[in-house]
Each structure stands twice: as C-alpha cells, then as structure tokens.
Chain A
C-alpha cells in the first residue's frame, strides 16, 4: 500500500514537471505599452420646441438606430396600497396599443420589421427603448411617439398584465436566493417602494383610471428625455422627432418629495427555513445617497473589498482560498436617497455560519486597517485602464450621459473621473469603511435549513424567525 502511494507521488511529480513547455517571461517583464489613444466620446444635447430633451450621438458603423428614453416618475410615486401601478403602466403602455392600433397589431408590425419598442416602469424613472433598422426608422418612431402620447390602456391587456404579474408573484419564492433578497429588502427598507412587494391585493386595487391618470401626469414632453444614436445625422434626428411629437404639449412636471429613508436595521439575524442545499445569505443595511463626495472612494473600496471579481477580498478569501461558495459580492452602493450596503452569497451549508462570521471579521478589518498599498494601486490601475470600456459601445453613450444628468451628477463627471480616482487614499477608504458600514446595525438574512449549518445562527446575534411559506402565501392572498 505504501509502495503504491509512493509510486503515485512519483508519477504525479513526473507528470507535473514534464508538462511544461519553454519558460516564458512574467507579464510584469513586458514593457509598459504606449498610452491608449482615447478620448471619451460625448453626445450633443438639444431640446425640441415642445420641450423634449434629446442626447444624440451619430454612429454610422451599422444601419441601425437606437432611441432610449426616460421620464421622471416610477414606483416611488405610487400609493402604497396600489404597489405595482408604475410597473403596470410600463407594461400596458405598449401592450395595450393606441387608439389607432391595438397592441397585437403593434406586436405584429414591429416584429415583422425586426424592430423593438418596449416600455417599462422602474423605481424612479419610466423608460422606453427602441431599436430598428435605419430603413424602418420613420415608421418605428411614429409608433414610439404614439405609444408615449396616446396609449389606449385596453382593459383586456391590463387584465393580461395583472395575470402575468400574479403568476410571477406565485413563482418568485421558488428560488431561495431571490427569496433571501426580497426578505432583505423588506427588512432594510420597510414599507417603501424599495422594500415593499407587489402582491395580489395591491394589483387588485389598481384600476384602468389609475393607469390613465398616471400616464396623464408623467407622460408629457417636458418630462421626456431621449437618448438617440445610430445611422443618422443630428439634423435628421431633430426633424424626425419634431415630426413624430408634433402637437404634443406639456410642461416639466413637479414630483412630490419622497419621505427620506430611515435606518431601521438593528443587527438582527433573520432566519427563514426552506429546504435547499445551501445557506442563502444577504447582509447589510442602508447605504449612501448618490453623487456625494465619497463616491469615488466607495467605488475603489467596493472594488477592493467585494465588487471586483477575483481580485476582491471577499471572493479571494471565501471562494478562492476556502471553497465555501461559488460567488460572493457586495459593497456600499449609492441610491437616490440612501442606496444600500449589501453583501450576498450562497454558502456551503456546513460552513455557512463560520463564513458569515468571517465576512464580519473582514468588514471589521476594513474598518480598522488601511487597505494595502498594492491593493489600492491595483484597483486604481484597474479602474483607470478599463475606463475606455464605458465608451466602447456608441449606442450606450447618449443614455449614459442622460442618466447622469437626470440623477443630478455634474456634467463633467466623466471628464474629471480619472483625476478624482488618482486622489483616493488608503485613509479615505478607511474613513469611508468606518462611516458607511456598521457591524452593530447590519442585519443578516438567511434562507436555508439550519439543521445543515455548522453552528446555531444565534452565534451571529439575536435571531428572528420568518415563515418563508407564509410570507409567500400572504403575497398571493386575494
């Protein structure tokens, strides 16, 4: 037996050594390449006579045109008891057709042209996205304009959309990681647009009149911001949009103030039982308001700690060194109001509590010791050298600039990005980690089967049980 093992060792040694070809250089021995000839491309901005804002970039490479749009307004502005209204408007605006063309005819015509006109509703913005071949641009823009201007909100399509959303509600608890995410949002954000869930009850409360009123209020030219790119000139774009939206009127709208979020996280560990092989863990608390002075510091901190793939500490330690998960990501993220500090992972069940404790220690370490010089240098190099990839797809650029504007970022955000990045220090990161992460307040949501865990969850803090099945069923109570 021993002899056999020795033979095996020898065999392995031979195979390991024999398989190498000619030794090459280490990549660090390569000369630093010539700097990249690159200057960020910028869209031009213009306003149509009726107040529609347009960000435009010409791109002649392919015979395609992209028109994406944003309108202020979203689930932040819908009543609590009618949660889902913005989402429903976003769906039925397009599927319900217009006075001149029903939704099915629109599906048929657009799909025949291999074109898309899609609408949606988010938290803060309502959206529209269009892509078509240049030859069909006039017709597709007509459809786009008619959808935004005069949707029919056909009752049968409202019913269809509600039914589909309800089926989604039935199914959304099937996957434990998604379930853990919803429970985390509910605990961190409470009864706000960020934390609440659309349910059968809130959908039942929404009427066609609610959709019509929502549309009337938000869908006006003064509130429409379009990002246009592709195979056309600025003049063509201007003429095309002017014609399609001719006669449409409506000033900029005022949206009500949304109450500020308050931190209610208190260090509780929430445990929901579900029969599943891993521990699905989400931990954190509220994050940070966007466009604040620490933003670039947080971007670097996240990259080093939890966001930058295999170079990030969490991935390196929890996955690569210990094999406790397939993936772990997280960081302090910005939002309109507070954003979120959030780390999520599906962990090896019989090491899961140990892994969570380790993550907590790693947070503590980030708040106690400055990141290393090497980590900071690598992160800065990585963010600076990959900056070019934000600008490598022209069809995305106008929308990118437009979104920055709508979210209140300075117009020179990208112009100053590299300079701001250079200035980030280890001390800045240490201060940000202390300021924006709070181990005492951080909640931990765990979906899984505690019997399979290595230790009781109580070792992580006070545990509150959530009945996963009951929560799922309550969502679909009529």
Chain B
C-alpha cells in the first residue's frame, strides 16, 4: 500500500516541480529592486494587465517594539500618519502651528493629570478640558479635513488604508497608473513632514476601536488573555491595539518620539505592483524620496522569552459561547522547524480533508470550527504554534482539548502519509500562483519578506523549505514542541447570568 502511494506521489511530483521552477522564474522576471542612498528599498513587480497599480510600504516597527506604558503607540501613530503635513490638511500652516503647539501642551498636561487617577485635581482637569476644546475650535478654522483622503479619492484611488501588526506597520493605496507622481508626492510629503494634528481626538477614536474590535469580541478578548499568559517577558504578549490605560494616556510627545526612532528610510520598504515600468519610475522615486534623511538603525528588542517550564492556563469569562485556544512556543522563520510546524498546521486544519476538520467537525462533530496557525503573533522573533477551536454544543472545551491533544500525540509516533504531504505542497504552489492575481496581494508578500527578512526571494526559499519537509521531521517536531510544559491553554467560559 505504502509503496503504491509513493509511486503515485513521484508521478505527481514531477509536474509540480516544473510549475515551481516556472513560478520562481516568472516572479524574478517581474521583480526589480532598487536601493536608495538613504537606505530606502523600493521593489517593483510588473503586471501590465490593467492600467492600475497598488503600492504598499512598511516600516519594521510594530507592537513588539513597544514597552509597558506605551502599548498601542505603533498603531496610534499609524492613525496619525493620515493627518497631513504643512502643505496637506491645512489652509494656513503658519497660523495653525502656534495653536497646534498650545493644544498639544494642554493635551499633555491633561493626560498627565488624569493619570493621577483618584487624586487628580478635578478643577484643573475641567479647566484643561475647556482650554483644549477652545483651542480645537480655533485650530479647526485652519484644518482641511482628511485631505490625503480627498486628494487620493479625487484621483480615483481606492483602498487607502494602513494596518499595524506585532512586527510591522504598513500603508496601502491603489491608483490608476497615470497617478504615479501623485503617489510619490503625497507619500514622500507625509513621510518626511508629517504633522500630527488632531492627536487627542484621534486617540478617542482608537479607544473606540479597541472597544469595538476587542472588548466587544469574545474571541479577541480570549486571545488577549491567552497571549498575556503565553509570553511572560517578550513584548509579543501585549495586544497590538494596546491596553486601554495606555491608549488613554499616551501623549503626542511619545508618539512623535516613537516615529522619529522608527520611521526612517533605512527601516522602510516600498513595493509597487502593477502597471508601472521601473525604468521610468525609479528617477521619479529618487526625486521625491531621495532627500528623505536616513536615521540611526532602530533599536532591537532586547527581551527574549524565557523557556516555558510548565503548562499555563488562563480563563476568560463572558456572556458568550465557549471557545478554546492552545499554543506551543517554537522558533521563527527561517528556522527549519518553522517550516515543519507550518506543514503541521496545514495538515491539521487546512481544508475539509485535513486531519482535525475530518475527525472533529465531520466525524465526531465535536467542533464548530478548528484552526491551526504556525506563526503567531509575528515572525521577527520566536513565536507560537496556535490552535483555536469552538466546541459544538453540548460538547465542552475540555472534551475538545482532549481530542485535539490526542491528534497531536499521534503526530509524534505515526508518520504522515506521503500523499498528505504532497497535498500540502500542491496547495502551496497553487496559492503562490493565485497570490499573483492581485497587485496588492503580490505587493504585500514581496514587501513583507524584504522588510522582515531582508530579501523578497526568501519567499521562494520558504516555499522550498516547506516543500522538503519529511514525515520524520514532522514526528520529531511534534515530539519536541507538543509537550505539556510548553503548552498554554486559554478557555472562554460562558458566564452564568
């Protein structure tokens, strides 16, 4: 039986290898990398199928670079990057500037006073709030609301947005291809000359964002508790959005200092995918981004997570149906074990023929959902293999945990089928072809590998590593990482009324 499978596997493997070589070739043909003197890396991926392009740029700074007290700053700053410059977003910057400085000082004083909690001087708080309101009103006379949005919108731009993660912060826009110079002007202007206006109003927006996306979302609240328990020391343990207390108190000065440290050309990768020809675009990029001043290399995260020496459990109670999350520490890309764990995650829950989907959802019908991920929450530092699942009533978290652990144990002793490994490889090949269907998807992938690991081609290396994982390696990794002392479990317990 096993031999027959191997024969089939080899027969299928041949065309897959061909496809892989073709993919690498077709990507390399499309990609041009340009490095500027100030350290900025620009990657072009040419696709001339429609007269549009997508641009994404990322900074290697995320929640992992934050320390206690200023969690959420990377994300809050990302919001502030849309507030304009001395040219954009204002009708008269000379006049606005003075009010802005006063209002920032009052805002800071108010934040500091409020931080005193119960002993805060209420008279002072009231007076500062009034001053802030008056200054805001004065400043509004000069503010041209969300002008970056207005400019791009009028030019036909779509998907203007940004996101912050544990590892990086990235900014997106797609435009018709005749607007490349506009892109260069707007982005170089806000990267070189951002004005952080309306900071304290935006901070309240982020407070509401936290409530909406985290506090009202049981799965996210469980995840937050779980990560806090899984990481004792390393900043991967705190939420990207930040703790409520920190969002409420972070000051403009702290956000500005954060920006200065990390928003430098040498810490940035810009990727342009679509109908843009590098030979014409590079001089344009040089014209606009060439005088952006390089900064010091950003600080590295000093803390390493100590080895976990025993099982950790955390409970979160809410008016919601039960869920469970389980995690195991593991090394990050490009370690060999990262590739092995990626294959394990795929085998376990990717698709309806995967191991856990088949057994827990289709056969035993214990679970409503089950999902495994190999690189949570980021890839810059050692991370976790994480499984999330929701039991199907009346099954419980405990029953589901037991069933999942039984499968993890099986992986330690029984080699996986060659055909199942082949399936993983086939899907990897296809997903990489599919990634090229969208300018933004392509831009994001190339940007991410270049920014986090220093070379976009590691995207292809990753694929080769995953494709070469063996059944023996899977058993060894399962034995090494799926141990009780390396496990953290979080459960959402339904609160009795």
Question: Taking beta carbons and an 8 Å cutoff, which residues of A are in contact with B?
Answer: 5, 8-9, 11-13, 15-17, 19-28, 30, 33-38, 59, 61-64, 95, 104, 107-108, 111-115, 131, 133, 135, 160, 163-164, 166-168, 170-171, 174-177, 274-278, 280, 308-311, 316, 319-327, 346-348, 378, 381-382, 384-389, 391-395, 469
Contacts and interface: CB of A to CB of B under 8 A. Distances in A.
A38 B439 CA distance: 17
Interface centre among B194, B256, B352 (most CB of A within 10 A): B352
Contact of B177 (A36, A113, A278, A325): A36
B145 A320 contact: yes
A249 to B, nearest CB: 31
A110 to B, nearest CB: 8
B29 to A, nearest CB: 13
Given A175-B218, A324-B208, A111 B50 contact: no
Contacts of A326: 205-206, 208-209, 212-213
Nearest to B177: A36
Contacts of A160: 361-362, 365
Contacts of B422: 112
Interface stretch (B183-191, B226-234, B327-335, B402-410): B183-191
A163 B365 contact: yes
Interface stretch (B164-172, B307-315, B426-434, B474-482): B426-434
Given A12-B101, A278-B211, A167 B368 contact: yes
A189 B189 CA distance: 49
Contacts of B292: 21
Interface stretch (B58-66, B102-110, B372-380): B102-110
Contacts of A327: 212
Contact of A61 (B49, B291, B358): B49
A12 B251 CA distance: 12
B449 to A, nearest CB: 20
A163 B86 contact: no
Interface in B421-479: 422-423, 426-427, 429-431, 433-434, 436-439
Contacts of B156: 381-382, 384-389
Contact of A278 (B208, B288, B293): B208
Interface in B281-307: 288, 291-293
**Size bracket, chain B contacts:** 35 or more
Nearest to A25: B185
Given A30-B181, A326-B205, A382 B153 contact: yes
B216 A175 contact: yes
A394 B50 CA distance: 9
A55 B365 CA distance: 40
Nearest to A34: B178
Nearest to A59: B49
A277 B210 CA distance: 10
B174 A389 contact: yes
Interface string B193-237: 111001001111111110111011110000000000000000000
B101 A37 contact: no
A115 B85 CA distance: 48
B437 A8 contact: no
B101 A111 contact: no
Contacts of B98: 13
Contact of A64 (B215, B252, B352, B433): B433
Interface string B76-113: 00000010011110000000011011101100110000
B321 interface: yes
A324 B203 CA distance: 11
Given A62-B436, A174-B218, A175-B216, A113 B100 contact: no
B150 interface: yes
* Interface class of chain B by DSSP: helix
B390 interface: yes
A107 B253 CA distance: 55
B320 interface: yes
Nearest to A15: B256
Contacts of B205: 319-320, 323, 325-326
Interface of B: 15, 19, 47, 49-52, 82, 85-88, 97-98, 100-102, 104-105, 108-109, 140, 145-146, 149-151, 153-158, 160, 174, 176-179, 181-182, 185-186, 188-189, 192-195, 198, 201-209, 211-213, 215-218, 252-253, 256, 260, 288, 291-293, 319-321, 351-354, 358, 361-362, 365, 368, 390, 392-393, 419, 422-423, 426-427, 429-431, 433-434, 436-439, 497
Contacts of B151: 27-28
A112 B256 CA distance: 51
Contacts of B49: 59, 61, 392, 394
B325 to A, nearest CB: 15
A310 B256 CA distance: 24
B423 A112 contact: yes
Contacts of A385: 154-156, 176
Nearest to B244: A277
Contacts of A163: 365, 392
Contacts of A112: 353, 419, 422-423, 426
A392 B52 contact: yes
Nearest to B191: A21
A393 B437 contact: yes
Contacts of B437: 62, 64, 393, 395
B208 A167 contact: no
A30 B182 contact: yes
Given A19-B194, A26-B88, A95-B352, 7 more contacts: A27-B185, A34-B178, A62-B436, A275-B319, A311-B153, A323-B208, A348-B204
B186 A107 contact: no
Contacts of A170: 321, 393
A323 B150 CA distance: 19
Given A112-B422, A310-B146, A321-B145, A278 B212 contact: yes
B450 to A, nearest CB: 22
B216 A276 contact: yes
A16 B212 contact: no
The 7 closest A-B pairs by CB, nearest first: A385-B156, A323-B204, A114-B430, A392-B50, A310-B149, A326-B209, A21-B192
A177 B216 contact: yes
Contacts of B185: 24-25, 27, 30
Contacts of A278: 208, 211-212, 216
A356 to B, nearest CB: 15
Nearest to B146: A310
Given A21-B192, A113-B426, A38 B433 contact: no
Nearest to A347: B208
